[in-house]
Structure 1
Amino acid sequence: MENKAKITGKELVALGFTSGKWFPEALNHINAQQLRGEAMLRYLEQFRPGPVVDLYASAAPFSVNIKADNPLEEGNIRSVLESMETLMRTPTLINGAVMPDACPAGPKGTIPVGGVVAAKNAIHPGMHSADICCSVMLTDFGAASPKEVLNAAHAITHFGPGGRDQNTQFRFPSELMEAFQGNFFLNDGNMLQIARSHLGTQGDGNHFLFVGVSKRTGNTMLITHHGSRGPGARLYAKGMKVAERIRQEISPETLKQNAWIPFDSEEGQAYWGALQIIRAWTKKNHEVLHDATLNALGVRLENRFWNEHNFVFQDNDVFYHAKGATPLDKKFMPDITGPRLIPLNMAEPVLIVSGETTHSNLGFAPHGAGRNMSRTQHRKSKAEFTDEEVFREETKGLDVRFFSNEIDVSELPSAYKNAAAVRDQMDHFGLGVVEDEVMPYGSIMAGDWQVNAPWRARQRAKQRQRK
């Protein structure tokens, strides 16, 4: 057979195809089989981009499970609903809901905190955000002293940036190691190194370690709140890159933050698998802290349950994206072992709830109290007082600690929505039934760790040298 001149990428581009990762494999096949003319075009048809998907002319339906009880809340709700109206024009979305703890989370069209959206055959990385699988876990310590539990947990946990040094790291389970290595989104050396060092860490922001007493049984309960830390943040960044490439090809009108990965694509299957691995890692991240505290006190585990509230949940070909919403429906949690947890603020009880799916709640409840103002706005509202004065006033009778030893005013109770109003709206809109309350004894949060961040300490040292 006579060898024909090789087909190059330029010729494929001239035929209307967009350069991509598939080019080398396709060119190798075309030239090896010496495909030309109609035969080549038939082979290439599988790589031709599908038709462009336009935004909906108007928003897909969504339910509003929130009402204003003050002027600040009115402005907050207005911003949330404006963002939802834009968001729900994304062409994969078929339904949505807004929870009582909703607040804006970015530019107009970004899913709000306290938002739920259902997408057909699509995973939107921007709709679960960088803090994948932010979640809460409760362990029942029985008759153990709340003070002793909090002290033991304080000696074990880790807040702030970075991870643990090699001397304080927890054992990384071999099955998790194999899962990371078997997924191309997660299989890189840096990811595995971070997954090891971040195991048993809680980060910063609104993440916490809470100790309280069950109103129903009198038992001491330990509750942790955090997400997937560095591994989740890295997966999110990779997912957003893939989704953006797809968005440019099939739906350039869609906002960048709402780009998606089709579930039935190779990338979609791998990304969904990566999300489940990150979910397992995050659950283990809670467990190592709880188990180490039990062991330190020599206490037997009485009960344990957990739920994520920042994740993607599958129901056949529909994917529910919860950006800060607690799943009520059992179909969303394959390893459900008990009721769900809804924390409010450090001075309020953690609610233990159950509930039914309704048309308006889509199978979800709030995930907390939410905010009506930004952290910066809240700090300004307290500017006439010192941090110490605000802290003393708002934490009376509680053992509240900041891991960095620096008060973070933006995490004190006044930074959050009124807890009673959130509970009233849960009742009003049918968003879960409270089965028990964990009454607060004390809690630990990161605090304002940036005050003594390593780079700030170096700057201060240099300044002292110059002086």
Structure 2
Amino acid sequence: MKITGNELIALGHTPKKWFNEALEYINENNLDKNEMLEYLEQFKSPDPIPLNENPTDFIINIKAENESENDNVEKVINTMKVLMKTPTLIAGAIMPDACPTGPEGHIPVGGLVVAKNAIHPGFHSADICCSVMLTDFGKIDPKEVLDAAHSITHFGYGGRDRGSQMPMSQELMDAFRENFFLNEERLISIARSHMGTQGDGNHFLFVGISKNTGNTMMITHHGSRAPGAILYDKGMKIANRFREEISPETLKENAWIPFETEEGQSYWEALQLIRKWTKENHEAIHNATLEKLNTEKQDRYWNEHNFVFRDGDLFFHAKGATPLDDKFMPDITGPRLIPLNMAEPVLIVQGTTNDRNLGFAPHGAGRNFSRTQHKKSLTHKTTEEIFEEETKGLDIRFFTNDIDISELPSAYKNAQNVRSQIEEYNLCEILDEVLPYGCIMAGDVQKNAPWKRKKKFSK
């Protein structure tokens, strides 16, 4: 009698890729029932991995400095308590800039967790390798740098038009084509068009003066744009396939790819390539600005603060946390950067691993309220009044020419409180500060979004 998939399902097996191969082997060799059961043993799924009933404690490097911060801190701690039930996690920490990103159990911004032999795409999110780069322009007028950068950079939706694209290196394109997750011509085409772009949200181009040297410095903040978002989507689909089989109790957002699998190895390699793309993206903007000004850089360094970092079989997932320990950065060339808001200095810091920071520092100032809540709290003032009050004395520009009040200083946590908690919890050492001159951000990209313009035109 020919054995079919129904017999395998009746024996408790879930239909999978191996079904056809197994059925072919069983029928060609006319296995009897006992022989068949023995043969099928190799395909038996392991028992599901349960959630941690007694999750590992996490380090709390945050406290409410005033009443408005109480709710935020409570939510951050509660979401971490649920998150740490994820079976792979062995350590965690929250930073002074932490804020929740969704329902309980989702990793908060300013959260750091350590997984054993597992990569969690949901813990780095779609904005893979969100990062900052600094170039020291020496003794040059900061307005000249800001003007030159403004003529070169690109914010908003999508990539650059074909005639204004910045080149993506051939070496990187070749590497994309050799990776399982990135070997897609559509993705590579998008990566090419997004080179030299900064997106929207809290991404910026900041120009200021070093407190220590008086030199003008430019700092860019953005991630891997659409190429990273595409990789994230693919990674989440693979992770959830594993989750359904090995740990269905785990939240979908916390699914993981086992590192020892072929998919895990390929995803890790893809993350490193997306990291290289992001660094190249920063460099494209910085180098074009230097060329426009016909000058050379005095110094340059960078760091990501939204990535996965490896130390042996441990994977440190930083959802908005700045790596301090040199072991996390293969191309380390200088100290690290912590931006706060457009009206505050960018902190230049250094540090080592200690019993509170797990080798990381905060990545910025964070938020106490959502963008929508913040906007509602300011409805008694005009946008122009808010802008004037919060940016006085600074050269603040929005790429779309539409002010985004959800990115003004009051939208963020009190910068002094974040700095004081950095010191209180001994997270890192501040070496220098880049005092603000001016800043470029995307602006209110929703106001005149392309699809809104088309809709209006069609009426």
TM-score range, shorter chain: over 0.9
Distance across 1 between alignment mates of 2:232 and 2:405: 29
Q: What's the counterpart of residue 203 of structure 1?
A: 199
* TM-superposed deviation, 1:59: 2.6
Q: Which position in structure 2 is the counterpart of 1:289?
A: 285
Q: Pick one of 385, 401, 404 that aligns with 1:405.
A: 401
Aligned match of 1:241 in 237, 256, 265?
A: 237
Q: Which residue of 1 aligns with 2:321?
A: 325
User: For each residue in 1:240-284, what CA deviation from the matched residue of structure 2 results, as whole angstroms up to 9, or x when unmatched?
Assistant: 111111111111111111111111111111111111111111111
Task: Note the C-alpha offset of 1:40.
Answer: 4.9
**Would the alpha carbon gap of residues 204 and 33 (structure 1) be closer, same or farther in structure 2, given more than 3 Å must change?**
farther
User: Match of 1:125?
Assistant: 121
CA contact (8 A) 1:63 1:97 kept: yes
Q: How does 1:50-199 map to 2 (within 5 A)?
A: 50-199=46-195
CA 1:181/1:68 → structure 2, altered by over 3 Å: closer, same or farther? same
Distance change >3 Å, CA 358–CA 277, structure 1 → 2: same
Q: What RMSD in Å do the two structures reach over aligned CA positions?
A: 1.6
Asked if 1:221 corresponds to 2:217, the answer is yes
Structure 1 residues 388-443: Cα deviation after superposition (integer angstroms, max 9, x where no partner)? 11011111111100001000000000000000110000000011101010011101
Which of the residues 289, 294, 307 maps onto 2:303?
307
The number of equivalent residue pairs is 459
Structure 1 length normalisation: TM-score? Answer: 0.95
Q: Is the 8 A contact 1:354 1:435 kept in 2?
A: yes
CA distance in 1, matches of 2:196, 2:25: 48
Q: Which of 41, 55, 59 is the matching residue for 1:45?
A: 41
The residue identity in structure 1 corresponding to 2:80 is M
Q: Residues of 2 paired with 1:303 and 1:386: CA distance? A: 41
Amino acid at match of 2:322: T
Task: Using the TM superposition, give the Cα deviation of residue 25 of structure 1 relative to its aligned residue in structure 2, in angstroms.
Answer: 4.7
* Alpha carbons of structure 1 residues 40 and 154: separation in structure 2 relative to 1, 3 Å: farther
Which residue of structure 2 lines up, in the alignment, with residue 459 of structure 1?
455
Deviation at 1:187, TM superposition (A): 1.1
Alpha-carbon distance in structure 1 between the residues aligned to 2:381 and 2:428: 38
The residue matched to 2:151 in structure 1 has which SS? helix
- Seen in structure 2, the aligned counterparts of structure 1 residues 30 and 177 have a Cα distance that, compared at 3 Å, is farther
Bigger mean CA offset, 49-58 vs 29-38: 29-38
Contact 1:138 1:221 in 2 (8 A): yes
Q: Which amino acid aligns with 1:366?
A: P
Give how far 1:45 is off: 3.4
Structure-1 separation of matches of 2:104 and 2:76: 9
Shift of 1:41: 4.5
Other-structure match for 2:346: 350
Deviation of 1:461 after TM superposition, in Å, equals 2.6
Query: Could you say if the C-alpha distance between residues 436 and 266 of structure 1 is closer, same or farther in structure 2, counting changes exceeding 3 Å?
Result: same
After superposition, where does 1:422-433 map in structure 2 within 5 Å?
Answer: 422-433=418-429
Q: How far apart, CA to CA, are the structure 1 residues paired with 2:165 and 2:209? A: 30
Alignment match, 1:334:
330
Distance in 1 separating the partners of 2:39 and 2:130: 44
2:271 to 269, 275, 285: 275
Work out which of the residue numbers 382, 394, 415 in structure 1 matches 2:411. 415
Structure 2 length as normaliser, TM-score? 0.97
- The superposition leaves residues 86-141 of structure 1 with CA deviations (integer Å, 9 ceiling, x where unpaired) of 11111111110010000001110111000000011111111111100000000111
Structure 2 unaligned spans of 5+: none
SS at match of 1:167: helix
Tell me, yes or no, if the aligned pair for 1:308 and 1:326 is still in contact at 8 Å. Answer: yes
Q: CA deviation at 1:170?
A: 1.4
Does the 8 A contact of 1:144 with 1:299 survive in 2?
no
Gaps of 5+ in 1: none
Separation (CA, whole Å) in 1 of partners of 2:402 and 2:20: 55
Contact 2:58 / 2:93 at 8 angstroms: preserved in 1? Answer: yes
Whether the 8 Å contact between 2:356 and 2:427 is mirrored in structure 1 is no
Structure 1 residue 379 and structure 2 residue 391: aligned?
no
The answer to whether residue 22 in structure 2 is matched with residue 14 in structure 1 is no
Q: Which amino acid in structure 2 is aligned with residue 279 of structure 1?
A: R
Q: Shift of the alpha carbon at 1:15?
A: 3.0
Query: CA, structure 1 residues 248+219, in 2 after alignment: closer, same or farther (shift >3 Å)?
Result: same
